[in-house]
Amino acid sequence: MQVDLVIPVYNEEHILAKSVATLRAFLAEHLPHSWRIVIADNASTDGTLAVAQRLAQGDEGVTFIHIPQKGRGRALKAAWLQSPADIVSYMDVDLSTDLRHYPELVAAIAEEGYDLATGNRLARKAQTRRSLHREALSRGYNFLIKGLLNVRFADAQCGFKALSRLACQELVPLVEDGEWFFDTELLVLAEKRGYRIKDVPVHWVEDPDSRVNIRRTVAQDLRGLWRLRRQLQEAARNRHPPGSKA
């Protein structure tokens, strides 16, 4: 079974090589499948693309793609949809999620029959280290999702996910958002269309060098939630699956 692990990056030349080396060593020792690391550079303006090219030279375990427009969702959509792998996945370049959970994420698809697996930082067995401000925002956001969209999954935006190839090919083209809301929209569409989702409790440590613009991201997420709510209501009225263009 072939597994692609995508790392979406924007201006990460300072950490990319170290993170890829850490991932290569871990996967070689702990993942019982064929694997490939795919660096998805989306419009970096520093030397990230050059680092990605250097890491991929002569190494069959590492490759890269370049997306000329910013947005984590755009990077994931491009990398996943062109992947020939049986399982596609991604994690953030800062490796905030403990890598020991990655084999469990993959096993949920490869062995347990789930269509999608996602990290859960809010489960009882999860352990997180982050600021009180970020913790409150995360819990408030996920509470809002449940209230507005009536979904069961617990943590919409953990940067730690895996999908079967079939689920990827069916779901990812339906996701409209190309930025941070991509994760939420993917999970909502998957649950509403009946795909099996596994929550994987994780150990997660906040990256103090995070480039996320919290205010801008919150505004985008709120717009995305209202758009999805309208689309789900319309789908219910017209009796067609959410995300359909009908």
Whether 189 is in a domain gets the answer: yes
Whether 61 is in a domain gets the answer: yes
Query: Cα–Cα distance between 79 and 40 in angstroms, integer?
Result: 7
* pLDDT surpassing 90 at residue 171: yes
Whether 220 is in a domain gets the answer: yes
At 241, is the pLDDT very low, low, confident or very high (cuts 50, 70, 90)? confident
* pLDDT surpassing 50 at residue 87: yes
The pLDDT value recorded for residue 172 is 98
Whether 108 is in a domain gets the answer: yes
Query: Is 116 in contact with 156 (CB distance < 8 Å)?
Result: no
Q: Which residue has the tokens 């690391």?
A: 37
Q: Residue 200 is inside which H or E element, if any?
A: strand 197-201
Whether 118 is in a domain gets the answer: yes
The pLDDT value recorded for residue 106 is 98
- 115-134: average pLDDT: 86
Strand segments, DSSP code E, in 21-121 are: 34-42, 62-67, 87-91, 116-120
Whether 246 is in a domain gets the answer: no
Domains of the chain: total: 1
* pLDDT surpassing 80 at residue 237: yes
Whether 243 is in a domain gets the answer: no
* pLDDT surpassing 70 at residue 209: no
Query: Cα–Cα distance between 66 and 74 in angstroms, integer?
Result: 11
139/197: higher pLDDT: 197
Active site includes 209? no
Whether 130 is in a domain gets the answer: yes
* pLDDT surpassing 90 at residue 206: no
pTM of this structure = 0.91
The pLDDT value recorded for residue 210 is 59
The pLDDT value recorded for residue 213 is 67
Q: Which listed residue (183, 199, 207, 221) is catalytic?
A: 183
The pLDDT value recorded for residue 240 is 73
Average pLDDT for the chain: 92
CATH for 185: 3.90.550.10
Residue range(s) defining the domain that contains residue 118: 2-238
